[in-house]
Structure 1
Amino acid sequence: MIIVAKIVNEKFLQIDGHKIRYLESGNSKNTLVLIHGLGASAERWNRVIPLFSDSFHVVVPDLIGFGYSDKPTIDYTPDLFSEFLENFFIATGIERPNIVGSSLGGQISVEYASIHSQEIEKLVLVSPAGMMKQSTPALDAYIMAALYPNELSAKNAFELMEGSGKSVDANIVNGFVERMQLPNAKLAFMSTVLGLKYSKSIASKLKSISTPTLIIWGGNDPVIPINYADDFVSAIQDCRFYRMDGCGHTPYVEDPQTFAAKVLEFLNGI
């Protein structure tokens, strides 16, 4: 059997004078946008991009302040990220995308969808932030790893976050350490943490989302525990839920095949 490697292109564009980096794969007329979480980058989705790009034009931005996008000295609030997403769609010419948002990316997707619900085809939220206001030991470890980035602290944080007991890919650990050592990376990270802490609850915004929505949550998520899932499922008008047992905060990293299968099933209306 001949295995054909999926081509993933790295691209850059300007938004409000800031350089923004994103990855792109697939040629479908249907677009799927993947939004990463706090302290992450487009690479966090590497294991599922090839699984989606047969069926979708996959676009994966580095959020402003993260990855290899610019990190200006500004206040990183949920409103800022929602506006960034709107401007990113305008700059890339993306219309009626399907959106998958993880953790912080999930909250950003909610903020955007609460205003632009009619402009989104379907929405997938993976362990979304926005309801939990107190920290957890796994989140504390992750914040410490961001402030003091080294292999040991990052490895400890990712092992706690995954909650599966499996060893963490060294590329994930090393990539995180490298990115957190970039200029202004720590500032953007902590500004985002504070912006989330002091932002209003997104509960009222969930009720305004009419986009068909799927919530996926790792059954063993130690970062944002699964008991927060009902807040989302009960508030969003057209919402279904899938629990990924044996997974922690990033099921698309821990079990990419199952994750992709469930997302494609939802997006394709099966």
Structure 2
Amino acid sequence: MIIVAKTVEEKFLQIDGNKIRYLESGNSKNTIVLLHGLGASAERWLNVLPIFSKHYSVIVPDLIGFGLSDKPTIDYTPELFSDFLEKFFAQIGIVRPNLIGSSLGGQIAATYTSSHAEEIEKLVLVSPAGAMTQSTPALDAYVMAALYPNEQTAKNAFELMEGSGEEVPQDIITGFIERMQLPNAKLAFMSTVLGLKNSKPITTKLSSITIPTLIIWGSVDPVIPIDYSGSFISSLQDCRFFRMDGCGHTPYVQDPDTFASKVLEFLNGA
């Protein structure tokens, strides 16, 4: 487990009998909720959390099935995660947050917002899943690392996902290995992969999202290539787009200052 900064509180709550872990920072009346991607945890957002928490209250859950949240034996579908998010908001009392989701988290955020648009202030999708029709070598490597979590498979996967050729921090590799060795972690991971594969393209739901939306995509994302951004941009009614040059699948990890700057600019109405 990664130790988080003292300004970040680690908290737990219960949803349908399952323990859910989340991080919280900041004390503004305006809220940002950050949703991580497949196989990740709240720690994935630690590079930008201190920047956002200067201006907003920031809440970062470990999605059910991931991180240190419980991993019940259920079918992990986009609809399940959307339902989870609704219950999570109700449990904490979150009202009209700004919702930011990366990869799987982006698909969850879009799915939720498509039927709860009046409950979200603004939406940010970072290399969102849900439109890609076939796998990529980087995604295949990531699935292999989840099934066989060791130093070699994880390092290979994250180096491919990085996309820029820069060295991947060791704590990211170690954290992933530790998470995938937790009870039921592989089951939840693979059930989510199958749930995504068998779901309808998220683009069928995007036209119902009327709130301002920002799409951010790494220009060299090898997991979900930037070519898929077009289907999101053309389907959303009120969309802005920012390409993060030289970044792979997680630009908020690789270039947190630029990422946070663009998000805050968008959230503040610029």
Q: TM-score range by the shorter chain?
A: over 0.9
Match of 1:58 in 2: 58
Match of 2:184 in 1: 184
Structure 1 outlier segments of 4+, above 3 Å: none
SS at match of 1:84: helix
**What are the within-5 Å matches in structure 2 for residues 136-175 of structure 1?**
136-175=136-175
Pairwise CA RMSD: 0.7
Match of 1:126 in 2: 126
Q: CA deviation at 1:41?
A: 0.2
Q: Which runs of 5+ in 1 are unaligned?
A: none
Match of 2:108 in 1: 108
Q: CA deviation at 1:133?
A: 2.3
Match of 1:193 in 2: 193
SS at match of 1:222: coil
Q: CA deviation at 1:203?
A: 1.6
SS at match of 1:234: helix
AA aligned opposite 2:171: N
**What are the within-5 Å matches in structure 2 for residues 238-249 of structure 1?**
238-249=238-249
AA aligned opposite 1:14: Q
SS at match of 1:114: helix
Q: C-alpha distance in 2, partners of 1:259/1:222?
A: 18
Deviation string, structure 1 residues 26-77 (Cα, Å, up to 9, x no partner): 0000000000000000000010000100000000000000000000000000
Match of 1:224 in 2: 224
Q: C-alpha distance in 2, partners of 1:153/1:264?
A: 35
Match of 2:29 in 1: 29
SS at match of 2:237: coil
CA contact (8 A) 1:6 1:25 kept: no
Match of 1:13 in 2: 13
Q: C-alpha distance in 2, partners of 1:59/1:151?
A: 30
Q: CA deviation at 1:6?
A: 6.2
Q: C-alpha distance in 2, partners of 1:83/1:135?
A: 26
Is 195-204 or 119-128 further displaced after alignment?
Answer: 195-204
TM-score normalised to structure 2 length? 0.98
Match of 2:77 in 1: 77
Match of 1:233 in 2: 233
AA aligned opposite 1:234: S
AA aligned opposite 1:135: S
CA contact (8 A) 1:6 1:50 kept: no
Percent identity over paired residues: 76
State how many pairs are aligned: 266
Q: CA deviation at 1:202?
A: 1.4
Match of 1:253 in 2: 253
